[in-house]
Each structure stands twice: as C-alpha cells, then as structure tokens.
Structure 1
C-alpha cells in the first residue's frame, strides 16, 4: 500500500479522535453535579448541619445553564454556605453571581477569594495544567471587580475570612473560623491566623482557596477539625475514572477532590490532623471550557457528631 494514503488516513483518524474528545470535554464541562459527603466533626449530641461548599464558579454572563443550576441549590436549604473563591471570570460577573446565588445569600455564609476573583482570565491551553508549576502567575491581566463582590457578600451578611478569624452560630452549634487569602498568589498571611484554634467553639473550620501544603499543615497543627478548599478543579483533565494528574498546587493528585485526611496518613483523633475537603469546583477558564473525566460540582457536606 502506498505510504501517502496510509499517512493521510492516520492523520484523518487522529483529527476525528481529537474532535471527538474536544466535543466530549465541552459537554462534560456543563454536566453540573451535586456531590454529597458526611463529615464526622460535631460534638456528641449536636444536630447534623448541612453545609454547601461552593468553589471555582468562574462565572461569565453567557453561562445561563450554570446560573440556573446554581440558583436551584437554594432548594437544598443548607444551614451554612462556604465559598472558597474564584467566583468571577468576567468584568460583568458580579451581579450575575449574586443573582445565581439567589436564596443562598439569605443563608449564613463565609468566604475567601481566589486568584480568578482578582485578575481577569486569559487564553490558556488546558493541557498546560499537566506540566510542572513554573511559579508564574496571571497578574498582568486587568483586575476584576472583586471589591464589588466583597460588598455584595457583606450586604448578605457573609463573613470575610481573608487572613482572619470569625465565628458563626448555626442553630445550637458555634463554629470558629480561620481563613487565608489566596495561597496560589502567595497572598496568604499565615502568621496572622497562627495559633491554637478556639477551644471554646463547638467546631473549628479553616478555609482557603488553594490547598497548598504549608496552609494545610498549619491549620491541622493548630487544631482545626476540618479544612475546606477548592482551586484544583479536581485535576480538570483526568484519566478515565477521574484519576487526577495534577492539582495546580503542591497537593498530591490523589487528594485533588473529595474528603480526605491531612496529613494524608493520619486518622481521626490523631493530634495535629484534620479532615480536608477539596471541591473540584463548578467552572473552567471561560476561553477553554473543557473538563475530562471530572464533572463540575458543588458539595453538600452533612456534618455529624464525630462519635
């Protein structure tokens, strides 16, 4: 058989396969999924709490299906919302995010911001996530209207945990919080939140956008019962079965999403250890709306007594 027809056929099949994968990846990026997980962290005798973890919404005004799905989460009637950042992906996204959150803004909430709340996204090849982190950060694009986002959250009564502490009482449970600004941009000020977690609270939770090990290590050592984070997109481009290849930070891919322990080899009750929940998030870079074997998600965490 002549060589040129074989080469042409091979190239044609490769092109079809590439188009098929891209079509699937674009479809999966719109398959919004609610995950459910039970976290045993409450003191004995406390009623379970429903906590909705939102992360990496990356909202653009044209994403109407995402907005409608997000708006429907209010029907879950959570007791608390934890937002771990990267809400924005467009200069006009703040009112869109507020509208999509809808009734959730009437629920007690806490939040931190991520790099994509601060800086507008740029064109990016999603396969670059598979390469080692160069340390270069997107800070040359225009700033997004994050002060207005903070104002809207403040109007709703949500607690800003940017390099600080706070406390929220939900029914009979007092929750002490600590949070840091985005570790991916090195905005985190760990010294400002260092020290033992509040021993008088019923529950101690720590919040960060990106689950860098330096942040997890400090919060676990300081006695926080659980650490809540996002940023990883669950790997975004994963192997079949959802096995992540990267996390876009120094957290190992095996813990790119879901509920784990930190340190990874610790067990409940170990001193200096915590639960860790990492959300795969709801969005993507708006210029490359692809996900592979990693559907966009929000998580309803049911907190129950540890015993």
Structure 2
C-alpha cells in the first residue's frame, strides 16, 4: 500500500501545474480564484512531497551535565529514523554521513528505526555507508526494526550495522572516554518490543560516577518505572509529527504525547528527541525537515542533593517526581 501511495503521489505535479494554468488562463474571476486556492493547497503538497523531505538541516543544542573527570565539552551527533525501504524521497545515506562528518563530533548516537519494509537482502548494502563515519557510533533498534510493524529484522540488521562499525547496545552498556571526560552510554531495548514481548528493556549498569546517557528509540519509555534515572535520554520515534500543522498534529497523532522534538526536563532526567530524517505512512514532511542534531554536552563537576538528583549547572532546576510529562527547554 505504501508503494502505491508513493508512486501515486507523483500525480501531484501535473495536477498542480494544471491548477496553476487554470488560475491564470481560466474562465471568470470566481473560477480563477477557486483554482488559485486549489493551486496554493496543491503547492504545499508539492513542497511536502518533493522538496522538504530532501532537505537536511543541522541543529545545535547545548546540554549541561554533571560528572566526574575533567570538565569540558563533548560534541555528540544524533540522527535517527532513517526508515530505509518504502520511500526513496529522503536524504541519501552518503549525504547523511557527509553531514555528520562535517560536524566533527566526538561520538554519534543513532536511536533506532533504520528500516521500513526493506528487503533483508539489501540490509548490508543499505547501511554500508555508515562505515565512513569518522567518529564512534552507538545505536539501538526501533520498533520498525523489530516487527512493530513490518518484518522483524533482528540479527540480520544487527550484523549489517556491526559490519559498518556501529556498536549496538540493544540493550547494553559502553563507556565513552574523550580527553579525560567520560560518559556511560546505556542502550535500551525498544520500549514497544520490551512491553509486548516481556523482554528486559534496561541493561545492568555499572556504579562508576559519570554522566549517564540513555539511548532509547521511543521517548514513552520515560513513563516506565524500569527506565530509572539518567542524566540525558536521547530518543527518536516521533518524527516531530512528520507533517506538523499547529493545533492539528498534536491532537491527531502521538507525536506530542511526551515530547515532539527538542530538549526537555523530566522527573527522570533530561530528555532529547530528534525528529529524524525518514518517513513512514506517507511520503511527506511538512514543517519538520530532516535533521541531524549536534548536542554540545557541557560537563561540569556538580553535587548531588539528598534525594540523589543531579543539580543541573548553572541554572537548571529539578521537576518534582509527581509531575507528569515534559517541560520544554528548547527545540
């Protein structure tokens, strides 16, 4: 069905051009006005189908963390929701890799959804370009990668990603060290898969005193008691709404249930959601262009209060645990 929608959407172009012609050369004023309005609406559709999905923007977000080791900055690139398979009107993998490398990050996080009905025979070739990323890459799988919905690529996808020098933490733990600064990276299993199949979502964590970065595809995981506390969770899944119409998208989709995109403070820690680069459902993006995010992690020495919370330096605040949802800091 998605293939039919994809190829059928090419009809937008001739219909749009016909509406433009009729708005100029049509009959009376009423006809020209009606066709002008139709052309304007179709023009937005043309933009959402043929222009915006090919854009690739970079957004930089400062994030303050507490930790041991030397104070300083770690640059962390985040890119997610590639959804390789059904739709071809997205930035190429090579272009994404070039963009990531141009940022010269210290590490790269990929919080899942690599696939969308991609033939299993194409997995290795589809993700081979990732091998050209110059920084270490850490990833988890998303719901589309494990059969919710679509095929469960499982071990085949993991092998293809590992062949491209990506470290899968699904779930798992890794320690990143950069110029005397340390990060604990905790990869969580996709929240939907863990819930549906009764699997462990959270890996065991070491007790080392360093900032904890959780990589989880679905930000809804922060509502699960198993998630625990963290300094920063990095997620995807929402696509920023993919087609964002103020007052409409949040009412009709799940995109705003936790956080549509950006950085927020939650009772469990800071949450960052990227809106990703790919698409599902419809081959459209509107008001949410594909993006690579660069998180500038400013690590300072901080103290804990008597409840074990990290105090955010220098102007952060702690949200009471009884509060629900997320409070947006920046987007």
TM-score between both structures, scaled by the size of structure 1 = 0.73
Residues in 2 aligned to 1:244 and 1:298: alpha-carbon distance in whole angstroms: 22
Match of 2:278 in 1: 283
> CA offsets per residue over residues 154-196 of structure 1, 9 Å max, x none?
345533222x33122322233323333222454586855288x
Equivalent residue for 1:100, pick from 129, 138, 144:
129
Hey, what does 1:258 align to over in structure 2? 262
How many Å apart are 1:211 and its aligned residue? Answer: 0.8
> What is the match of residue 71 of structure 1?
97
Instruction: Determine whether 1:51 maps to 2:76.
Output: yes
State the 1:68 CA deviation.
3.4
- 1:302 partnered with 2:330: no
Give 1:132's aligned residue. none
Structure 2 counterpart of 1:148: 156
| Larger Rg computed on CA atoms | 2
Give the CA deviation at 1:33.
0.8
Q: Is 2:232 the counterpart of 1:226? A: yes
Greater RCO (Cα-Cα under 8 Å, separation 6 or more) = 1
Alignment of 1:1-307 (within 5 A): 12-13=35-36, 15-26=38-49, 27-43=51-67, 45-60=70-85, 62=88, 65-72=91-98, 73-89=100-116, 90-91=118-119, 93-104=122-133, 107-119=135-147, 138=149, 141=150, 143=151, 145-162=153-170, 164-171=171-178, 172-185=180-193, 186-187=195-196, 193=202, 198-212=206-220, 214-215=222-223, 218-219=226-227, 222-239=228-245, 245=250, 248-249=253-254, 252=257, 255-263=259-267, 273-285=268-280, 288-306=282-300, 307=313
Contact 1:55 1:282 survives alignment (8 Å): yes
Instruction: Assess if the C-alpha contact under 8 Å between 1:87 and 1:117 holds in 2.
Output: yes
Shift of 1:236: 1.2
Shift of 1:256: 0.6
CA distance in 1: counterparts of 2:95 and 2:298, whole angstroms? 27
Q: Take 1:25 and 1:250, find their aligned partners in 2: how far apart are those partners?
A: 18
Equivalent-residue separation in structure 1 for 2:223 and 2:215 (angstroms): 10
- Cα gap change, 1:292 to 1:225, in 2 (>3 Å): same
The answer as to whether partners of 2:238 and 2:254 remain within 8 angstroms in 1 is: yes
Q: Please, what is the CA RMSD of the aligned residues?
A: 3.3
Distance 1:194 1:101 in 2: 25
Q: How many residues align?
A: 266
Give, in whole Å, the separation in 2 of the partners of 1:191 and 1:98. 27
